[in-house]
């Protein structure tokens, strides 16, 4: 689910980047090729010791930065908290098949959003979240 044309987004969360040209658009530790999903399991089971040794790019976010991000992410509540669950479930059940690439290039991994069965619960919950947001989002935050 990458943008066309591809973009790099650096201003949504401190020290985290999404670039459609790197690691299939995964959230990365800074402007690196290190996706958070690559080392979070090791972090949970073994702690931060060894993460920066095995993944030097992890220093871009650091233990405190990653802990803050995961805490902020998991602090989502109500309908927004519920949105995280079907997103994670869809990713867990994503099919490994390859989809034909546009323009005749190499095949790309098929994403969960391309599977109606996996996308349906995400869409349903996302619609609930959108219904809670004000229509006019141009007002500055106070």
CA pair distance 49, 31, nearest whole angstrom = 22
Q: Is 54 helix (H, G, I), strand (E, B) or coil?
A: helix
Q: In this structure, what token pair is assigned to residue 109?
A: 């991994």
Q: Which is it for the CA torsion 54, 43, 68, 113, positive or negative?
A: positive
CA pair distance 127, 142, nearest whole angstrom = 25
Query: Which of the four pLDDT bands, split at 50, 70 and 90, describes residue 62?
Result: very high
Query: Which comes out higher in pLDDT, residue 141 or 20?
Result: 20
Report pLDDT digits (tens) over 76-127: 999 999 999 999 999 999 876 666 666 556 666 678 999 999 999 999 999 9
Q: Is 10 helix (H, G, I), strand (E, B) or coil?
A: strand
Angular region, 106: left φ>0, alpha ψ -120 to 50, beta rest: beta
Domain ranges of the chain: 8-73, 76-132
* Contact assessment for residue 27 and residue 12, using Cβ atoms and an 8 Å cutoff: no
Give the pLDDT confidence score for residue 109 in this predicted structure: 64
Q: Is 136 helix (H, G, I), strand (E, B) or coil?
A: coil
The CATH number of the domain covering residues in 8-73: 1.10.10
């Amino acid at each position: 689910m990458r943008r066309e044309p591809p973009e790099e987004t650096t201003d949504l969360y401190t020290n985290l980047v999404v670039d459609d040209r790197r690691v299939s658009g995964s959230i990365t530790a800074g402007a690196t090729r290190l996706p958070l999903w690559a080392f979070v399991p090791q972090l949970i089971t073994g702690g931060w010791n060894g993460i920066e040794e095995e993944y030097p790019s992890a220093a871009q976010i650091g233990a405190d930065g990653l802990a803050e991000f995961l805490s902020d992410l998991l602090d989502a509540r109500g309908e927004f908290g519920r949105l995280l669950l079907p997103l994670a479930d869809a990713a867990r059940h994503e099919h490994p098949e390859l989809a034909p690439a546009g323009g005749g290039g190499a095949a790309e991994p098929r994403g969960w959003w391309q599977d109606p069965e996996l996308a349906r619960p995400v869409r349903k919950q996302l619609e609930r979240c959108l219904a809670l947001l004000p229509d006019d989002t141009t007002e500055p935050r106070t």
